């Protein structure tokens, strides 16, 4: 019976453990320095906002692990000895393995700012960050203002969390429009407006210079790089992206880049050692995906895939078509396939864009201007069915087909206002086409 050790109890590591147990009797140990039991990271914000308790973020009962014979070892791994096949812990303990899965996830980027390690500075990634937030920003008496540095998805979540307790927020974004390295300009501009409507002090094209300390080593204020302005605050959220959490592997002989280098089977350069999730870096990018993907669902897929290989059914990691979803305050966002910002568009790509005149709703459809092949869609404020777009991307449908059957893809509840007719009319007008919108058909929707 092999001993399989998994470092990290996030979605990747736990999924691997569950699927290895389904398919084998191997001994499984999960090593965690963060929490005793697995929880949903994406739900942390709702604990702070009062929508749920921390225990609600745990998908499995505490007895689940014992029942499934998955052991838990709490501790911080200081290094991995690949020759002896053992983990060395910071307290001097060791643990031997036959196979090792590295699933240590990410940590918030720090760019060497003066004061970045003061009390009151935090990311929003770990359970410990939630605890720090409760300590330093329980209400707007204890925290007169918070400053968030970095304009990604975690930054906007943290802003929403703090505003839910009426804490004033200043939001420093390096780019000249929110997330405009990812989003097309009309969408980025709409999110800028939406952030300001929520009384968040959004500062575009603005960098942090330093974080200043009071006499007790706590955050007192920040200084802005461009103007030298000082903003008094009690909390600083660092949300300028994440980096793979791999420092403890530096001397291990495991090949590292920005993350742990893996092949399509998620194997490292050392036999019987694997990496999955946010910390894994593909040698060669898969399609147009990035070599490292810090996304919840790809972590889950990697865990399932690797479990197959470990249980004797060698399986390559195939993530399929890119998709993602998020929430910008009150606006729901979904993306399927590839829609790049104007900076990232390729020669053959064209956009069709529709925006609601009064509400925060818009779509961008990307297609090949020569062949009319549908490449991807972004939707804001309109919910769409994942499986329909997945099917259209697999079947290489044209942009005309997507528009003709757009009603099938709409997933908004009953009585929501529908906009497909206006969307198709605008496309026809701009492209001199005569596409007729088909009525929604449940038969078509469920036929695949």
pTM: 0.93
Of 216, 240, 264, which marks where a domain is finished? 240
Q: What is the pLDDT of residue 448?
A: 58
Dihedral angle, C-alpha 240, 179, 220, 34, nearest 10 °: -40
Q: At what angle do helices 153-164 and 185-197 cross, to 10 degrees?
A: 20
353: Cβ contacts below 8 Å, ≥ 6 apart: 184, 186, 362, 363, 364, 365
**Tens digits of per-residue pLDDT, 40-88?**
888 999 999 999 999 899 998 889 999 999 999 999 999 999 999 999 9
* Number of structural domains in the chain: 3
The Cα–Cα gap between 391 and 337 comes to 11
DSSP 339-370: ---GGG--TTEEEEEEE-SSSS-EEEEEEETT
Determine, yes or no, domain membership for 318: no
Do residue 82 and residue 189 come from a single domain? no
Q: How confident is the model at residue 447 (pLDDT cuts 50, 70, 90)?
A: confident
Per-residue pLDDT, averaged over 88-110, amounts to 96
Determine, yes or no, domain membership for 316: no
Do residue 203 and residue 223 come from a single domain? yes
Do residue 417 and residue 342 come from a single domain? yes
Segments of 140-271 assigned E as strands = 146-149, 169-172, 201-203, 208-213, 219-224, 230-232, 235-238, 242-244, 260-262
The Cα–Cα gap between 407 and 138 comes to 45
Of 285, 311, 337, which marks where a domain is finished? 311
Per-residue pLDDT, averaged over 364-374, amounts to 98
Determine, yes or no, domain membership for 114: no
403: Cβ contacts below 8 Å, ≥ 6 apart: 365, 423, 424, 427, 435, 437
Determine, yes or no, domain membership for 115: no
The Cα–Cα gap between 5 and 302 comes to 16
Determine, yes or no, domain membership for 113: no
Q: What is the pLDDT of residue 62?
A: 86
C-alpha count within 13 angstroms, C-beta hemisphere, residue 192? 18
Do residue 307 and residue 281 come from a single domain? yes
The Cα–Cα gap between 99 and 97 comes to 5
Give which of 189, 190, 160, 156 is closest to 172, Cα–Cα.
156
Report the number of secondary-structure helices (H) and strands (E) in the chain. 12, 25
Per-residue pLDDT, averaged over 188-200, amounts to 97
Determine, yes or no, domain membership for 65: yes
Q: What is the pLDDT of residue 445?
A: 86
For the beta carbon of residue 11, count every other beta carbon within 10 angstroms.
Answer: 28
Per-residue pLDDT, averaged over 144-157, amounts to 95
Contact of 34 with 106, CB cutoff 8 Å:
no
Do residue 197 and residue 291 come from a single domain? no
Of 291, 311, 331, which marks where a domain is finished? 311
Determine, yes or no, domain membership for 365: yes
Give which of 132, 136, 111 is closest to 210, Cα–Cα.
111
Contact of 209 with 224, CB cutoff 8 Å:
yes
Q: What is the pLDDT of residue 298?
A: 97
Stronger pLDDT, 261 or 63, i.e. the higher one: 261
Residue 216 has pLDDT above 70, yes or no: yes
Q: What is the pLDDT of residue 35?
A: 82
**What CATH number has the domain bearing residue 294?**
3.50.50.60
Domain ranges, residue 260: 3-107+243-311
**What CATH number has the domain bearing residue 406?**
3.30.390.30
Determine, yes or no, domain membership for 373: yes
Residue 183 has pLDDT above 90, yes or no: yes
């Amino acid at each position: 019976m092999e001993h399989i050790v998994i470092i990290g109890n996030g979605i990747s590591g736990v999924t691997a453990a569950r699927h290895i147990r389904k398919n084998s009797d191997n001994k499984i140990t999960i090593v965690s320095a963060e929490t005793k039991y697995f929880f949903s990271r994406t739900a942390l914000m709702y604990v702070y906002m009062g929508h749920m308790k921390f225990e609600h973020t745990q998908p499995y009962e505490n007895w689940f692990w014992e029942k499934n014979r998955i052991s838990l070892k709490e501790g911080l791994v200081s290094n991995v000895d690949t020759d002896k096949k053992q983990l060395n812990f910071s307290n001097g303990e060791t643990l031997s393995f036959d196979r090792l899965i590295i699933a240590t996830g990410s940590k918030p980027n720090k760019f060497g700012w003066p004061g970045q390690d003061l009390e009151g500075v935090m990311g929003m990634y770990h359970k410990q960050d939630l605890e720090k937030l409760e300590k330093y920003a329980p209400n707007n008496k204890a925290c007169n203002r918070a400053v968030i540095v970095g304009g990604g998805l975690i930054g906007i979540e943290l802003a929403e969390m703090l505003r839910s307790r009426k804490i004033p927020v200043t939001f420093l974004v390096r780019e000249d429009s929110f997330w405009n390295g990812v989003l097309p300009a009309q969408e980025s501009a709409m999110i800028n407006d939406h952030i300001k409507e929520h009384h968040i002090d959004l500062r575009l094209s603005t960098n942090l210079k330093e974080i200043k300390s009071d006499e007790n080593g706590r955050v007192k204020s920040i200084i802005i790089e461009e103007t030298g302005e000082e903003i008094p605050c009690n909390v600083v959220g660092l949300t300028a992206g994440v980096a793979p959490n791999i420092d403890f592997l530096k001397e291990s002989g495991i090949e590292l880049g920005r993350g742990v280098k893996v092949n399509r089977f998620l194997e490292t350069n050392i036999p019987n050692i694997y990496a999955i999730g946010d910390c894994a870096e593909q040698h060669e990018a898969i399609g147009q995906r990035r070599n490292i993907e810090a996304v919840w669902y790809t972590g889950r897929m990697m865990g399932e895939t690797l479990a197959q290989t470990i249980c004797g059914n060698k399986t390559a990691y195939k993530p399929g078509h890119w998709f993602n979803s998020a929430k910008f305050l009150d606006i729901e966002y979904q993306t399927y396939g590839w829609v790049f910002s104007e900076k990232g568009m390729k020669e053959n790509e064209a956009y069709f864009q529709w925006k609601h005149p009064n509400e925060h709703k818009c779509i961008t459809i990307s297609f090949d201007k020569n062949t009319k092949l549908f490449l991807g869609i972004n939707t804001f404020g309109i919910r769409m069915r994942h499986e329909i777009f997945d099917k259209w991307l697999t079947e290489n449908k044209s942009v005309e087909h997507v528009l003709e059957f757009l009603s099938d893809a709409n997933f908004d509840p009953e009585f929501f206002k529908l906009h497909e007719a206006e969307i198709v009319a605008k496309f026809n007008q701009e492209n001199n086409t005569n596409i007729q919108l088909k009525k929604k058909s449940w038969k078509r929707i469920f036929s695949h």
